[in-house]
Amino acid sequence: MSEQTLSNLMHEDRRFEPPAGLAADANVKEEAYARADSDREAFWASAAERLDWGQKWDQVLDWSNPPFAKWFVGGTINASVNCVDRHVDAGNGDKVALHWIGEPEDDTRDITYAQLKDEVSKAANALTGLGVQKGDRVAIYMPMIPEVVVAMLACARIGAPHTVVFGGFSADALASRITDCGAKVVITADGGYRRGAPSALKPAVDEAVTKLEDDELASKVLVVRRTGQDVDWDDDRDVWWHEAVDNASADHEPELHDAEHPLFVMYTSGSTGKPKGILHTTGGYLTGTSFTHWEVFDLKDDDVYWCTADVGWITGHSYMVYGPLANGATQVMFEGTPEKGRWWQIVQDYKVTLFYTAPTAIRTFMKQGREIPDAYDMSSLRLLGSVGEPINPEAYVWYREVIGGDRCPVVDTWWQTETGQIMISPLPGVTAGKPGSAMKALPGIAADVVDDDAQSVGNGNGGYLVLKEPWPAMLRTLWGDDERFKDTYWSRWKGLYFAGDGAKLDDDGDIWLLGRVDDVMNVSGHRLSTTEIESALVSHPKVAEAAVVGAADETTGQAVCAFVILRDSAGDGGEDIVEELRKHVAKEIGAIAKPRQIMVVAELPKTRSGKIMRRLLKDVAEDREVGDVTTLADSTVMDLIKSKSSGSS
Ligand code: WTA
């Protein structure tokens, strides 16, 4: 976002007060800010009290060895028991946990908490039967079907940390994640449905397995039959879910795990090539996600909540699986993608009250026109959430008016894979929302915007977003790499967590997020690393050098734009070179990383010390006047690139 747009934004003077009824009856009221400020640990301890513990903790927070935090030290807890058993024990076994809606119309299943408990128990027994023990890692590569939730909770139950790999990632990406975290078992499906047709998953697992160097890795693959398509089968390795799980006992005595027992590893793009394995542990993560889910969405007993995220991302983990289920919520889970009126049909049919999605989706619907949502009765909605990228004021207002009938507050929630829980957001019963601002840190969270010297910038100024105090769902480290954890997040300024985002404080001290300040792009709310895509391009035999930038895109926020230099031996690369390279990136990383645009160039703009000046390439990709070129080793390079780009697209 340019400074110009930003200053326009910050003169935004529309305000939306919370609806009176919601304000009067809100789960969390204004007093919470002061209460948390006066005793942060006591505040989080009371949030933890909402969960069922075995042994209570002796100490709320151990921060004696920063940046390695321990929360609820000495406490024991089981995440799966908190997400299922305790609701059944409280007499809510018949409450619907998941209204699951498959992509093919009429393919639906309602699953109650009692049924979920049985399924999770069976799956836990089946995993134990396959040799999975507490502490072993399990990779999950599945479509949006109920079994993915069952699989995650079964892993949590036996204390086997899961790593869910988004189904859109390639075999290579899956293999590298299995290797990095040492996953012994993989849970997958034959395929899932994408845009009306079955799309295979098992072949990617088969291919990933051939790339593994250690026989202990992925020694068993548990396969759900979803589409019924043909799959290759290895009798020693592959096991059908419907044989192993359906025949297992529904009695499973869960063990209580230490509050700091690893719950899962979620890989995310960093500013260097190799994805980072973000480690989350049990007690603090569950406290942070369940509390904020209840707080920010103002969850009530009879709400029907729907988060549209895929379970392969952190939003799916925190706000589709662990947060809502720990709170005993009824939710919608949809296998498909947003097509025309299908989402709004679901809102109407299931009387969805709380809805959580990403700005990219909202902008897409805006483009399609309001006639589509206007054809449905969405009067059940009472609150709307946004996550994943900055929401521009126009999209915010459209969302509020067209989807929310001008009565639902919009909560713009800022957080990250690393933070585990929502950190900055309006409180729906307290805050007068400003379109485009995530407003301020939630009670119990300490955020600030600082300059290069770690000084608060003060109201009216911009800088870097930092977090100043530990919080329960914070990442504990990067899997197997404590040094990289320290370097990445804690080394820039002593004692401050650096989020990688730029932000501004407006005159009222409210926070406006400005996007990443590192080499991470945000495409449709998905994090992609420029370096990772550059390495994928350079691994193609015809490519000598590559530079990737995220260029502003009206719908997806940012889009991947690549500049490549071909090897001499490749000549002009051939007619289909661009398509060939796009496919190559999809194969190496996944379809989401495919560049929107690839320009074949003769040179890249470099400084005298050889650093590529991505800023200038971004100017080209965004069709802007190219900025200051005086530090370039050869300033004519940009003229060459520009003449090239005006001829292509
Ligand atoms: C961006 C997704 C502006 C931000 C939960 C962050 C946002 C990255 C917002 C994390 C928001 C997320 N406003 N930007 N409300 N929410 N971001 O790890 O750049 O996939 O650092 O977690 O998304 O992406 P991640």
User: Is 641's C-beta closer than 6 angstroms to any atom of ligand 1?
Assistant: no
Q: Where are the domains of the chain?
A: 524-645
Q: Which of 332, 427, 426 is nearest to 101 (CA)?
A: 332
Full-prediction pTM beyond 0.90? yes
Alpha helix (H) residue ranges in 399-473 = none
CA-to-CA distance for 155 and 160, rounded, in angstroms?
5
User: Is 276's C-beta closer than 6 angstroms to any atom of ligand 1?
Assistant: no
CA-to-CA distance for 591 and 491, rounded, in angstroms?
33
Distance between Cα 471 and ligand 1 center (Å) = 17
Tell which one of 265, 414, 514 to mutate to probe ligand 1, the residue whose CB is within 8 A of the most ligand atoms.
Answer: 414
User: Is 414's C-beta closer than 6 angstroms to any atom of ligand 1?
Assistant: yes
Say what the pLDDT of residue 649 is. Answer: 39
Residue nearest to atom 14 of ligand 1 (CA): 389
**Residue 313 DSSP SS3:** coil
Nearest atom in ligand 1 to 417's CA: 18
Residues facing 24 on adjacent strands: none
Place of tokens 């590529």: 612
Contacts of 263 (CB under 8 A, 6+ apart): 79, 156, 161, 280, 281, 282, 285, 286
Distance between Cα 510 and ligand 1 center (Å) = 17
Distance between Cα 422 and ligand 1 center (Å) = 10
Residue nearest to atom 15 of ligand 1 (CA): 414
Q: Which of 102, 142, 155, 92 is nearest to 330 (CA)?
A: 92
Angle between the N-to-C axes of helices 577-588 and 530-538, in degrees from 0 to 180, rounded to the nearest 10: 120
Nearest atom in ligand 1 to 527's CA: 20
Contacts of 463 (CB under 8 A, 6+ apart): 449, 450, 451, 452, 457, 502, 503, 504
Distance between Cα 515 and ligand 1 center (Å) = 8
Q: How many CA atoms lie within 13 A of 574 on its CB side?
A: 9
Distance between Cα 284 and ligand 1 center (Å) = 21
The yes/no answer to whether this complex scores an ipTM above 0.95 is: yes
Nearest atom in ligand 1 to 516's CA: 19
For residue 107, what are its two tokens? 């393919």
Distance between Cα 491 and ligand 1 center (Å) = 21
CA-to-CA distance for 96 and 108, rounded, in angstroms?
13
Alpha helix (H) residue ranges in 182-310 = 202-210, 241-244, 283-296
User: How far is Cα of residue 129 from the mean position of the Cα atoms in its chain?
Assistant: 31
Residue nearest to atom 10 of ligand 1 (CA): 416
Residue nearest to atom 23 of ligand 1 (CA): 388
Pairing mode, strands 447-450 and 257-258: unpaired
Residue nearest to atom 11 of ligand 1 (CA): 414
Tell which one of 399, 416, 478, 530 to mutate to probe ligand 1, the residue whose CB is within 8 A of the most ligand atoms.
Answer: 416
| Low-confidence stretches of the chain (pLDDT beneath 50) | 1-4, 647-649
- CB–CB of 59/91 below 8 Å? no
Strands (E), 34-182: 59-65, 68-73, 76-77, 96-101, 108-112, 137-141, 162-164
User: Is 412's C-beta closer than 6 angstroms to any atom of ligand 1?
Assistant: yes
Q: Is 551 left (phi over 0), alpha (psi -120 to 50) or beta?
A: beta
- Can the peptide bond before residue 67 be classed as cis, meaning omega within 30 degrees of 0? yes
CA-to-CA distance for 435 and 364, rounded, in angstroms?
18
Spatial strand order of the sheet with 162-164 comes to 238-240, 220-224, 183-189, 137-141, 162-164, 262-268, 276-281, 477-478
Strands (E), 591-649: 597-600
**Residue 250 DSSP SS3:** coil
Residue nearest to atom 22 of ligand 1 (CA): 416
Alpha helix (H) residue ranges in 237-386 = 241-244, 283-296, 314-316, 323-326, 342-350, 359-368, 371-374
Place of tokens 């989401």: 592
CA-to-CA distance for 322 and 286, rounded, in angstroms?
7
Place of tokens 């989020």: 499
Nearest atom in ligand 1 to 391's CA: 13
Residue nearest to atom 24 of ligand 1 (CA): 416
Distance between Cα 532 and ligand 1 center (Å) = 19
Output the furthest CA–CA distance in the chain (Å, rounded): 74
Q: Which of 472, 464, 470, 532 is nearest to 492 (CA)?
A: 464
User: Is 347's C-beta closer than 6 angstroms to any atom of ligand 1?
Assistant: no
Q: Which of 131, 125, 396 is nearest to 244 (CA)?
A: 125
- HEC profile of 63-106: EEECCEEEEEECCEECHHHHHHHHHHHHHHCCCEEEEEECCCCC
User: Is 319's C-beta closer than 6 angstroms to any atom of ligand 1?
Assistant: no
* Cα-only R_g, the chain: 24
Residues facing 620 on adjacent strands: none
What's the DSSP call for residue 568? G
Distance between Cα 507 and ligand 1 center (Å) = 23
User: Is 424's C-beta closer than 6 angstroms to any atom of ligand 1?
Assistant: no
Angle between the N-to-C axes of helices 283-296 and 40-48, in degrees from 0 to 180, rounded to the nearest 10: 90
Tell which one of 164, 321, 396, 522 to mutate to probe ligand 1, the residue whose CB is within 8 A of the most ligand atoms.
Answer: 522
Residue range 584-643, pLDDT digits in tens: 999 999 999 999 999 999 888 887 777 788 888 999 999 888 887 777 777 788 887 877
Nearest atom in ligand 1 to 413's CA: 15
- CB–CB of 158/134 below 8 Å? yes
User: Is 527's C-beta closer than 6 angstroms to any atom of ligand 1?
Assistant: yes
What's the DSSP call for residue 254? P
User: Is 426's C-beta closer than 6 angstroms to any atom of ligand 1?
Assistant: no
Distance between Cα 522 and ligand 1 center (Å) = 8
Distance between Cα 414 and ligand 1 center (Å) = 6
Which amino acid is present at 158?
I
Give the fold, CATH level 3, of 524-645: GMP Synthetase; Chain A, domain 3 (3.30.300)
- Tell me the CA distances in angstroms from 443 to 36, 390, 410, 569, one per residue in order: 6, 21, 18, 60
Distance between Cα 358 and ligand 1 center (Å) = 10
